Amino acid sequence: MSAAACSVCAGRWPSTADLIADCGVATASLHTDQFFRGWTVLVLKRHATELYELPADERAALMEQVARVAKAVAAATGATKMNYALLGNQLPHIHWHLIPRRAEDPAPTESPWSIAHAPRAPSAAERTTRIAAIRRQLGA
């Protein structure tokens, strides 16, 4: 997929209303599906589909931000474990899913994608509260 056809590069995803923080090489945004409370995506600012396409310094900076944002999400949500996913099958633009997991999850030992659920959109107040909690942990 070319950058011109990419929904990230075209500004169609993620929504600016879900923006948590600018993280240098990437941006962190609350995922629209909050079945896992605090589910966040970290999206590379430029178009690339594979980690090996990034120069070593950019890849290292991205991985540092993955760890930094995951730590903030975990602290903000009380997660007992974080799941990390970089897939790209449906949206071929580098973006990490940072998914907080808790003991009370319906299937805490299963992959997030194996748990059938209807997407849960947060209310405007919930979105604002979750974004603010993660920003506080980031020191943003």
The residue-averaged pLDDT of 2-8 equals 83
How many domains does the chain contain in total? 1
Query: For position 46, what pLDDT does the model report?
Result: 97
| Long-range contacts, stretch 115-123, CB < 8 angstroms, 24+ apart | 115/35, 117/35, 118/35, 119/32, 119/33, 119/35, 120/33, 120/34, 120/35, 121/32, 121/33, 121/34, 122/30, 122/34
At 95-121, the pLDDT tens digits run 999 999 998 988 989 999 999 999 999
At 17-35, the pLDDT tens digits run 999 999 999 999 999 999 9
What CATH number is given to the structural domain containing 28? 3.30.428.10
Residue 1 scores a pLDDT above 80: no
Residue 63 scores a pLDDT above 70: yes
> Residue 23: which domain range?
3-138
